Amino acid sequence: MATITFPSFSRLTFTNHLPYKVPITQQRLFFSAPLFISPLTLKTLNPSFSTANPPRSTAITTSNLSTSDNSIHKTLKSRLKTGETLYGLFLLSFSPTLAEIAGLAGYDFVVVDMEHGHGGISDALPCLHALGATRTPAILRLPESCPTWAKKALDLGPQGVMFPMIDSPKSAKKAVSYCRFPPAGVRGSAHTVVRASSYGIDAGYLSNCEEELLIMCQVESEEGVKRVEDIAAVDGVDCIQMGPLDLSASMGYLWDPGNKKVRETMRVAEKGVLGSKAGKGGAYLAGFAMPHDGPQDMRSRGYHMISGAVDVGLFRSAAVDDVKRFKMSLMNGTDDEKEDDKESDEKYWSE
């Protein structure tokens, strides 16, 4: 149990986005569960950790290999505007534990995937709670582009929403309208009670929600690629998320997403998106890393949002590798005969 001592303060007050103040009269705070205190307050107080319970090492960060304190408070949208390249994870398991681990690991964002994951809105909520505890922005990918799914997702309060299968400017405009309150759009309003507005406590929600929301449209068909520049230019579309698997399937290469023709089509789409951005206020380029197309290669081509892994895939690979290691050890002899692998084994267990 970690102990934090606040020197020279006998009475502290923290405001945690609540309509009232909560006094804390004790100098020592014992944390057995997360305590939500404004980081700016903590920075101002400059707490000292007791030597008996030293602080844990900081989490590994991913955006440009370093994350400043300010990046925690910036929205995804504002970070994109400053030229950052953001690195994220797709969450298909709907596990709050894995969501929390992803946030603590330092991903810039996590996409809770309701399109290919098994869960829906009620399953996504605990994942948003877990990500919120680590101050990691959540993006909800919708099962389909429709006003009902968009409304329910937006009411949960993610930083972004991702619309699948957008193949024309018309469908992109509809997606944007689902995110806007009338008269600019068709989003239903329950802002006085939903989580997105802190259940009505956040008085500034209506003033900021549309400006801060990241709207992502997935282009994942040949038809979409043909019109990608027009889609990216639609007012309100912030990111074009390329979908290499569905694109390869639409081209007849379901089992070969790395096919030369698929890669060439991807390059055409990428240039179209980047062309829309050049001096025209168009969309940012986002996409998935693939075995034949790694994050660094994507970054060099102008991607500003890169999803490098899927939680289920990471666990699958680790589990398969673990079983393989054990079975290989049975074939190759006892552990005493593998002294040369000690260093790699230590790395394995430390991970």
Please name the amino acid found at residue 306. Answer: I
Residue 83, judged by CB atoms within 10 A of its CB (0-12, 13-18, 19+), counts as: exposed
Contact present, 148 and 188 (Cβ < 8 Å):
no
What DSSP assignment string belongs to 74-89? S-HHHHHHTTPPEEEE
Our CA angle for 64, 70, 72, nearest 5°, is 80
| One-letter-per-residue 3-state SS of 144-175 | CCCHHHHHHHHHHCCCEEEECCCCCHHHHHHH
Residue 228, judged by CB atoms within 10 A of its CB (0-12, 13-18, 19+), counts as: buried
Place of tokens 């400006």: 211
Per-residue CA distances from 42 to 4, 26, 45, 47, 307 (Å) = 11, 16, 5, 7, 32
Q: Which residues pair with 219 in a beta bridge?
A: 242
- Print burial letters for 94-131: b (CB count within 10 Å at least 16), e (below 16): bbbebbbbbbeebbbbbbbbbbebebeeebbbbbbebb
Set 73, 116, 118, 292: catalytic member: 116
Residue 116 is a catalytic residue: yes
Instruction: List the catalytic residues.
Output: 116
